[in-house]
Amino acid sequence: MTPSFNIVVAIDNQNGIGKGGILPWHLPADMLHFKTLTSYKENQAKQNMVIMGRKTWDSLPPYARPLKNRQNLILSRKLTQHPDAIVMHNLADSLQWAHDHLDTIETVYIIGGGQIFIDALQSPHCHKLFVTHIEQDLECDTFFPPFEHDFHQIYRSETLTENNLNFTFCTYERR
């Protein structure tokens, strides 16, 4: 059996998620939201798992990785191992690993990037999307796939503003 998982993503108004290998915005409130969401667990004896593509791992500043208090998993076809994270070669094996460690893993979050989101969104085990909507076109080169057909919104925060960008935190659930 494969455990369900959630996706966490920040998108601009063209579904853009990144540019030149990094995030084309600086939103401390969104970073805090990401950290709080992916770190929160009910059972203090467990950790959540964050699954990311190798390029997203590379995009994290060295001081920030591995993401603290979470089990980090890198998806890569060419890496075989990493001292600071689990390495897997496909999403199915990653989810199986999480399932085999349910005694220590509480919730699985897929955190990007674009290549990984394509596979993840197609999975019937993808339960919720935590989407930060940034209300501007930031001319990204990496995108999040269309999702509104399969997911419906169950929560929308008030609009926040930082660095001249308006954004909202939304939650979507599979229809």
Ligand X SMILES: NC(=O)c1ccc[n+]([C@@H]2O[C@H](COP(=O)([O-])OP(=O)(O)OC[C@H]3O[C@@H](n4cnc5c(N)ncnc54)[C@H](OP(=O)(O)O)[C@@H]3O)[C@@H](O)[C@H]2O)c1
Give the shortest CB-27-to-ligand X separation in angstroms: 10
The 10 Å CB-count burial string (b at 16+, else e) for 29-50 is ebeebbeebbeeeeeeebbbbb
105 vs 120 by CB, closer to ligand X: 120
Residues 59-118 that bind ligand X (CB under 6 A): 59, 75-79, 89-90, 111-116
Which of 55, 65, 70, 133 touches ligand X by CB under 6 A?
Answer: 55
Number of residues that bind ligand X (CB under 6 A): 28
Nearer to ligand X, 3 or 53 (CB): 53
The binder of ligand X chosen from 38, 47, 48, 53 (CB under 6 A)? 53
Complete DSSP assignment for 53-107 = EHHHHHHS-GGG-SPTTEEEEEE-SS---BTTBEEESSHHHHHHHHHHTTTTEEE
Report the residue number, 27 or 105, with the smaller CB distance to ligand X: 27
